[in-house]
Amino acid sequence: MIAPEFWSIPTDAPSESELARKTATLKQRLLDIDSRFSDVRFATSLAAEDMVITDAIVQSKANIKLFTLATGRLHQETVDMTKTTEKHYGISIAQVYPEESDVQAFIDQYGMNGFYDGEVAKKACCGARKIKPLNAALLGADAWLTGQRREQSTTRVELNLEELDDARGIAKFNPLFDWTEADIWAYIKQEGVPVHPLHLKGYPSIGCEPCTRQVKQGEDIRAGRWWWLQSDSKECGLHVNK
Ligand code: SF4
C-alpha cells in the first residue's frame, strides 16, 4: 500500500454531466482531426492521460496510429503496460527504438547515467533516446497528438488544442489541453481504462525509470520528473515547437 505522504489517485470528480460533455467533446475532437488529416499518429507513454486518449480513439473509431518511444530506460511496468493495453483494446502499438549508435555516443561522452550531471547531458540523452526516434516515428505523418494538459505544469499553461509543430512542419494536437486531473481519473474509472501500476505507487507522471520518482502530496504533479533540475527544465524536448 502506498505511504500516505505520496501523491495518490484523486477521488474528487466532475459532475456526471460535465464528464459526459468533456468525453463527447474529446471524441469529436479526435474525429475532426482524423477528417482533416490523412496520417495522424499518437505518441503514447501509457500513463493516465495517454490511456484516456487511447480509449477515446478506440471508442470513436478515429483512424489514428499509436506508437510508443521504447527508450531502453523505461520501467518494466511501462513495458508490460504496452502489452496490457494492446490486449485490452485489441490494437497494436508500434515500438520506436533509438539508434544504438546514438545511445552509445551519449554513453561514451557522458556515461550511462550522465544526465544527472545537468541540463546539457539530460538534453543529449533525451535527444538520442526520445527526440530523434520521435522525429523518425513522425516521418510521413501530417498531424500528431499528445496527452499534455494545461494544468500539468507551469511549462504548459498556454497550451491550445491545435498548434503548429514548427520543428517538424506538421500539426500537433493536445485534445486534453483543457482537462483537469480529476476529469482524467473520473474518465478512467467510468470507462474501466487500464491503469499503469506506478500510478498506484505515488507516480502521477511517468517517464524513464532513472528520471522519474514518486511525488509527495501537494507537490507539482511533474515534480518527480528530472527532480534534480529547475522546474522550467521539466520537459524532454518532445514538445518544443521551435
Ligand atoms: S528521460 Fe532520462 S533516461 Fe529518458 S531519455 Fe531523457 S534523460 Fe535519458
The verdict on the CB of residue 196 being under 6 Å from ligand 1 is no
Tens-digit pLDDT string for the chain (242 aa): 666 799 999 999 999 999 999 999 999 999 999 999 999 999 999 999 999 999 999 999 999 999 999 999 999 999 999 999 999 999 999 999 999 999 999 999 999 999 999 999 999 999 999 999 999 999 999 999 999 999 876 667 789 999 999 999 999 999 999 999 999 999 999 999 999 999 999 999 999 999 999 999 988 888 899 999 976 656 666 665 54
Beta bridge partners of 41: 65, 144
Instruction: Return the pLDDT at 242.
Output: 42
The verdict on the CB of residue 75 being under 6 Å from ligand 1 is no
Instruction: Return the pLDDT at 1.
Output: 60
Centre of ligand 1 to C-alpha 111, Å, is 13
Q: How far lies 127's CA from each of 98, 103, 124, 172, 208, in Å?
A: 9, 9, 5, 19, 13
d(CA 234, CA 242): 17
Q: Dihedral, CA atoms, 172, 178, 184, 186, nearest 10 degrees?
A: -150
Q: Is 236 a catalytic residue?
A: yes
Instruction: Return the pLDDT at 214.
Output: 94
Q: 16-233 adopts what CATH topology? A: Rossmann fold (3.40.50)
Residue bearing the CA closest to ligand 1, atom 5:
126
E strands, 166-220, where? 170-173
Residue bearing the CA closest to ligand 1, atom 6:
126
Centre of ligand 1 to C-alpha 189, Å, is 30
d(CA 48, CA 34): 22
Q: Largest Cα–Cα distance of the chain, in whole Å?
A: 55
pTM: 0.93
Q: Where do the structural domains in the chain lie, given as residue ranges? A: 16-233
Instruction: Return the pLDDT at 138.
Output: 98
Beta bridge partners of 96: 69
The strands making up 143-145's β-sheet, listed across from edge to edge, are 94-96, 64-69, 40-43, 143-145, 170-173, 162-165
For residue 51, count CB atoms less than 10 angstroms from its CB and return exposed for 0-12, middle for 13-18, buried for 19 or more.
buried
